[in-house]
Structure 1
Amino acid sequence: MSRALRIGLTGGIGSGKSTVAGLLRARGAHIVDTDAIAHRLTAPGGRAIAAIAAAFGPEFIGANGAMDRARMRERVFADPAERQRLEAILHPLIAEDTEAEAAAAPPGAPVVFDVPLLVEAGRRWRERVDRILVVDCTPATQIARVVARNGWTPEAVERVIAQQATREQRRAVADAVILNEGTDLDPLARAVDHVWKSWL
């Protein structure tokens, strides 16, 4: 029996990627959320906590035992070498948990890997999936959504966007692109249906 289709789903912050993941789940896909895995690894008791404390210092672990995400965000955005140091801790653990979750998919169910930084990871993800689906929107839409959702300042969102792949870089590796500019779910659901049916 042939292996089930493996799809890499990505998009910039505020693109609506998680909404698309939910629509794919409703259509029978098995979703592996790498961001959720990273949160779990850096939560109280998470497998990455001891290594993060050793590498960055105990001040990067909050009173609740989780990684202090705001403090770490400031650190790694200011210094690419520090970001690489954090990634060296997290990426192997994320890869382990990702494959374990993919292996737990129901027989025959397409596996969708929800990966915010798929393009930034280079060939590593391109070689692990059969198709790449990109959720795309303008930077202005990204900023408006994240400000409304997270309460960040526009400048904070712009800094994250600047650290991520550009729209052009994401679109260049995509096997399909879903444009998600509006707030109406119906056109988005139709676009997801079109991709889903054409790929399956």
Structure 2
Amino acid sequence: MVQQARKAVVAVTGGMGSGKSSVAAYLCEIGGAMGLSADALCRQLLEPGAAGWLAMRTAFGERFFLADQRIDRPLLRTVLFEDREFRQRLDALLHPLVRDEIAGCLERESGHTSGKQTRFVVEVPLLYEAGWEHDFSQVVVAYADEKTCLRRLMLRDRISEAAAVKAMETQMPLADKTLLADYVIDNSGPWPDTCLQVEHLRNLLW
């Protein structure tokens, strides 16, 4: 995807409840970087008439569409967490589209600057699951211990512990991701502690 893999393009990944969005946002803020979110791009692709929306309609018919033709996101989320085969089919449809969108955004934004290298922070929750780790020159994992992630996920999505556990089990264990990363930010504790780590990371990256 990122043919010109360069130090200025950093991927941030993690697990549910690990705080990867917060880490990515703060790294952008203090590093003067442009942020991209794979999840945000995926949501755009699922808007009525967009490429992901069309792909889902072709593959699954009317099952996940509301009367106004928008995606029934609660239903989609439920099926994603309960049906591994469906999750794999949907990933096979959407991941290439999201990957192309990220590449296109990086290319367009890089072209807007003359002679100055643009810094990018790309948040990709399923980076390792999708096999995109080689698209970026540096990968940062936002880590938090399992109990902390579970608590945060329950509070954020207002779901039961059982539902949170089931959701987390759909992703690669966070501990495994830390072993593959170039850098790890431990976001288990107070946010000011995390900020100090991100500030040190900025100096290492740029």
- TM-score normalised by length of structure 2: 0.88
Q: Kindly provide the amino acid, as one letter, of the partner of residue 138 in structure 2.
A: R
Structure 2 distance, partners of 1:51, 1:81, is: 17
Structure 1 distance, partners of 2:53, 2:65, is: 8
Alignment of 1:8-47 (within 5 A): 8-26=11-29, 27-47=31-51
1:111 corresponds to which of 111, 114, 120:
120
| CA displacement 1:119-139 (0-9 Å, x = unmatched) | 1122xx222111110000112
CA-CA distance at 1:4 after TM superposition: 5.0
Native 8 Å contact 2:6 2:136 kept in 1:
no
Q: Kindly provide the amino acid, as one letter, of the partner of residue 57 in structure 2.
A: A
1:71 corresponds to which of 72, 75, 83:
75
1:60 alignment counterpart: 64
Match of 1:163, SS state, is: coil
Native 8 Å contact 1:3 1:108 kept in 2:
no
Native 8 Å contact 1:119 1:169 kept in 2:
no
CA-CA distance at 1:3 after TM superposition: 4.6
1:137 alignment counterpart: 144
1:171 aligns with 2:178: yes
CA-CA distance at 1:94 after TM superposition: 0.6
Query: Among the aligned pairs, what percent are the same residue?
Result: 32
| CA displacement 1:10-52 (0-9 Å, x = unmatched) | 0101111111111012121121100100111112333211221
How large is the RMSD of aligned CA atoms in angstroms?
1.9
2:54 corresponds to which of 47, 50, 53:
50
CA-CA distance at 1:179 after TM superposition: 0.6
1:187 aligns with 2:193: yes
1:87 aligns with 2:91: yes
2:203 corresponds to which of 177, 197, 200:
197
Unaligned stretches of 5+ residues in structure 2: none
Match of 2:12, SS state, is: strand
Q: Kindly provide the amino acid, as one letter, of the partner of residue 178 in structure 1.
A: I
Match of 1:100, SS state, is: helix
1:120 alignment counterpart: 129
Native 8 Å contact 2:7 2:205 kept in 1:
no
Structure 1 distance, partners of 2:150, 2:6, is: 39
Structure 1 distance, partners of 2:125, 2:141, is: 10
How many correspondences in the alignment? Answer: 197
